[in-house]
Amino acid sequence: MTGFIPMPELDAIDRKILSHLQADSRLTMQELADKVGLSVSPCHRRVKLLEERGVISRYVATVDQKALGLHVSVFISIKLARQKEEDLNRFARAISKWDEVLECYLMTGNRDYLLRVVAADLASYETFLKTKLTRLDGIASIESSFALSQVKYSIALPV
């Protein structure tokens, strides 16, 4: 990690800033400054510093899943035939390219990966399985669990 920029401890104000920006990144600097008890200038500088140091990694718009017609959410447990580093990397590269895969974790326990995948309906999920996932080499097993509903979905990490 050569490009590492040391991040001094986040103080209470930094945490407030992060908390508010995680909830709503369209706040104006004035609004944000008011909420955290600073004037605009230092608030602005803190935000820029948090960005430069990678504490704030990006700003994104969140889109409504139903509005896009993506009615199916699936969790997929995957075991690989072998778990050598090269196998893991190959798998990671493949799934990273697929937009349907929103999350993928390397897991402890009796599966290797856990994926969260979205699709318009069961038919297009089947297409994803048949044309993409099952075509990967080195997969020992695939097990799909379907979500009936999303009870909570948050991007905001606890600060």
Partner DNA sequence: CGCGATATTGGGATATTTTACCAATGGAAC
Partner DNA sequence: GTTCCATTGGTAAAATATCCCAATATCGCG
Q: Which is nearer to DNA, 36 or 133 (CB)?
A: 36
Per the CB < 8 A criterion, the answer to whether 35 and 16 are in contact is yes
Per the CB < 8 A criterion, the answer to whether 18 and 56 are in contact is yes
Stretch that binds DNA, among 33-41, 55-63, 67-75, 102-110 (CB under 7 A): 33-41
Q: Which is nearer to DNA, 30 or 145 (CB)?
A: 30
- On the 0-12 / 13-18 / 19+ scale of CB atoms within 10 A, 37 is exposed
Nearest C-alpha neighbor of 72 from the set 15, 116, 135, 18: 116
Alpha-carbon distance of 138 to 81, in angstroms, equals 5
Does the protein bind DNA through residue 82 (CB under 7 A)? no
DSSP character at residue 100:
T
Options 7, 23, 30, 137; binder of DNA; rule CB under 7 A: 30
Stretch that binds DNA, among 27-35, 66-74, 110-118, 138-146 (CB under 7 A): 27-35
Per the CB < 8 A criterion, the answer to whether 113 and 53 are in contact is no
Partner that binds at residue 22, options a second copy, DNA, none, CB closer than 5 to 8 Å by kind: a second copy
Partner that binds at residue 25, options a second copy, DNA, none, CB closer than 5 to 8 Å by kind: a second copy
For the chain, how big is the Rg over CA atoms in Å? 20
Partner that binds at residue 2, options a second copy, DNA, none, CB closer than 5 to 8 Å by kind: none
Site residues (CB under 8 A) for a second copy? 7, 10, 18, 21-26, 53-65, 67-68, 70, 73, 75, 92, 95-96, 99-109, 111, 113-114, 118, 145-159
